[in-house]
A and B are shown apart, each in its own frame.
Chain A
Amino acid sequence: MPIHIVLADDHVLVRQGLKSLLEREKFQVVAEASDGQEAVRLTEAHHPDIAVIDISMPTQNGIDATRELGRS
């Protein structure tokens, strides 16, 4: 089974680049988020093995999003 990943970064091009890079290495990107709240929502919905989260994001930053994920 490939390792499932949720990618969170507010720059679409950066996300798409990372996705191409990770998929080439056989990881499976199951969802992409552009802010902290979306990262929390998609991580709770998809239960990935790993959530890769940028710190500087609108709405809710990556650290607060990670804190919230730790609680849930």
Chain B
Amino acid sequence: MSRLGGFLNLPAMPTRILLADDHALVRQGLKALLEKQGFLIVAEASDGQGTLRSVEKTEPDVAIIDINMPVLNGVDAARELKKSSPRTKVVVLTQHGEDQYVTESLGAGVSGYVLKSQAADALVHAIQEVCRGYIS
């Protein structure tokens, strides 16, 4: 991650991100937005199973996962992902602000929780915080 590069006085490596959302247009929009901020999107997935396969293959620093996805939902995917690829941090990006979803996500090992009704700054902040090892 970029912090190590700075410490060793090496060029900063971009944070590598996987985007999982079943709406292609939402994914493409987020990709354009995050690339503008200097992040590197290494993979995209449209369902929970695809997310697990892509994370195993690409080992991203952060997986940004929607909750409502077909085949395997985002919370269950996060739970599996934390077992198979514990190094990858998970940020949930959802329209659900209810406590029940937040609690279930945290129980599944999610490090960040961002609502789609929040501004892009909140997502960028959450990515940075989870990379530093914090819960956001």
Contacts and interface: CB of A to CB of B under 8 A. Distances in A.
A17 B26 contact: yes
Interface of A: 10-14, 16-21, 24
Interface residues of B, number: 20
B118 A20 contact: no
B97 to A, nearest CB: 12
A13 B32 contact: no
B36 A13 contact: no
Q: Is the interface of B mostly helix, strand, loop or mixed?
A: helix
Interface of B: 25-26, 28-33, 36, 93, 95, 114-120, 122-123
Contact of B120 (A10, A13, A24): A13
Nearest to B121: A16
Contact of B28 (A13, A16, A19, A21): A21
18 contacts: A11-B116, A11-B117, A12-B117, A12-B118, A13-B30, A13-B93, A13-B114, A13-B117, A13-B119, A13-B122, A14-B29, A16-B29, A17-B26, A17-B29, A17-B120, A20-B29, A20-B36, A21-B29
